[in-house]
Structure 1
């Protein structure tokens, strides 16, 4: 990207980070002392590390939350967005400078994703528990299928373009708007965004700044709405931030890449099972209580 566009994007990321930190501090003021847990920190380390390498964090974090019973189902969507914001911002700071993307395409797709997330968060934060469980179950099933497609290497290969225009840009904006909205239910943007970018004929590497930039800007907006409604587990949020930010730096600057096929199949199994249990839970009438106060 041109130097001015890069500086503008980095300044925006810095403002987004400051906004998120202020929002978190305000949310924690009326709450009792928030103490991080070893389990939560461990979840942050594992999910943020592999997220940086391209696995995605939302599906794996949801599976670990349910396996360890650390976060209630109704709080998972908000907790995912609030907890992974700072690790994702760290990724965005790194990858938007390493991979070239045409500025208009990048900025327009980011704005579309933010708009989708703002709309989605306002809706999902008021859903009853059973609807959240059902929505997350369907999204995780889709995430498992997408991860399986990645492991089988059957996703579109993409092209060499670093930007799109005209009709393709319109498709990119609508697609990223929908993906931003789905982020608030608990489906990660990474895999679907990479597929979208490849289908449009762009270089798959361009998906990294697009998806990380989109998430970096939309997650502070979405999590702010969840925080205002009290639909976030603050202890899990703080724990994941503590473990996640250093894990991003290790993955990006030290490890850089790993053979991930076997790990993807493990993720498919775990996420598919979690999707099944969420769908089963959504059929239990005893938990049908409003999600918002």
Structure 2
């Protein structure tokens, strides 16, 4: 069953590759390539997808680095560039981690399917909710999770938590499906799936490394379809996307080797840091939006 999922990853990747390749070749032939820096984009791709493979995410870091390095990607096409540029690295991540990390087939397929359905069915509902409130709730929830996971870490051992299971069954499987459905829907509001998925996996008693194939597999199913739409509309930076894709894949392989050889205690510590960092960024974003609203009212 897992091989079928990997097969779908490959099919989606191939379809995206054809669409992306044709569009780039056509733009190059017609002299319509943008003036984004290929070298700076390549550096950005390696760094951001390295850390994406560790579960930190790539979108926010890419925006930050593109501004700092002055890559010259207009804000108007930034969303399309983020999706197109990171699609190939994310699919590679999913292929690697569904191969090197063992997850029960039913759990993997159910949770990936739930996230995909959530991103489509739940999009209409989530998109109408206040983004600042969502960020505030998720930020606080992740902060509590980070604290609890820190206290449960083997080196601290102040409370029980987590587990070594590679799959879910019964009520926990149902909770996992519902949880990933919600997380898939929240992606439409700009809230990343990685850290919340790590937290959910932890509380359902699974091993922390099981989160990697689940969260990356979920995004690998979503991003190629969304990215093909951006490509067809021309709403992305072609040069930056190609450079980030190429060097991002190299970053993925470097990080995957690092994660695969990481001691479990260290991996758990990394997960705690990732969740705490995401909590901070969400709360900071929510605070900025509150300040901007108050200024507008004033």
Aligning the two structures, in what range does the TM-score lie when normalised by the shorter sequence?
0.7 to 0.9
The aligned residue for residue 86 of structure 1 is 88
In the TM superposition, 1:31-42 aligns within 5 A as 31=27, 32-34=32-34, 37=37, 38-42=39-43
Which moves more between the two structures, 266-275 or 72-81?
A: 266-275
Deviation at 1:214, TM superposition (A): 1.1
Which moves more between the two structures, 52-61 or 23-32?
A: 23-32
The aligned residue for residue 109 of structure 1 is 111
Please point out which of 133, 136, 158 is paired with 2:162: 158
C-alpha separation between the residues in 2 aligned to 1:79 and 1:282?
A: 28
Deviations 1:62-120 (A, max 9, x none): 44345556445554444333221111111112111111111011011111222233457
Deviations 1:229-283 (A, max 9, x none): 5543444322321221111111222575487599757777677656655666788
Deviation at 1:141, TM superposition (A): 9.0
Q: Please, what TM-score do these two structures have when normalized by structure 1?
A: 0.73
C-alpha separation between the residues in 2 aligned to 1:75 and 1:163?
A: 39
Contact 1:117–1:177, Cα closer than 8 Å, also in 2: yes
C-alpha separation between the residues in 1 aligned to 2:113 and 2:52?
A: 22
Contact 2:33–2:238, Cα closer than 8 Å, also in 1: no
Closer/same/farther in 2, CA of residues 149 and 167 from structure 1, 3 Å limit: closer
Closer/same/farther in 2, CA of residues 239 and 186 from structure 1, 3 Å limit: farther
Tell me which structure has the larger Cα radius of gyration: 2
Deviations 1:215-238 (A, max 9, x none): 111111232344445543444322
Closer/same/farther in 2, CA of residues 86 and 72 from structure 1, 3 Å limit: same
Closer/same/farther in 2, CA of residues 105 and 260 from structure 1, 3 Å limit: closer
C-alpha separation between the residues in 2 aligned to 1:112 and 1:190?
A: 15
- Unaligned runs of 5+ residues in structure 2 are 153-159
Contact 2:104–2:167, Cα closer than 8 Å, also in 1: yes
Please point out which of 247, 250, 254 is paired with 2:254: 250
1:222 and 2:226 matched: yes
1:52 and 2:42 matched: no
Closer/same/farther in 2, CA of residues 110 and 279 from structure 1, 3 Å limit: same
The aligned residue for residue 146 of structure 1 is 142
Deviation at 1:24, TM superposition (A): 2.2
The aligned residue for residue 289 of structure 1 is none
The aligned residue for residue 17 of structure 1 is 13
Deviation at 1:52, TM superposition (A): 1.4
Which moves more between the two structures, 174-183 or 248-257?
A: 248-257
Closer/same/farther in 2, CA of residues 74 and 167 from structure 1, 3 Å limit: farther
- Unaligned runs of 5+ residues in structure 1 are 286-293
The aligned residue for residue 206 of structure 2 is 202
The aligned residue for residue 175 of structure 1 is 179
RMSD: 4.0
C-alpha separation between the residues in 2 aligned to 1:162 and 1:33?
A: 46
C-alpha separation between the residues in 2 aligned to 1:239 and 1:166?
A: 45
Contact 1:47–1:244, Cα closer than 8 Å, also in 2: yes
Contact 2:89–2:252, Cα closer than 8 Å, also in 1: yes
The aligned residue for residue 61 of structure 1 is 62
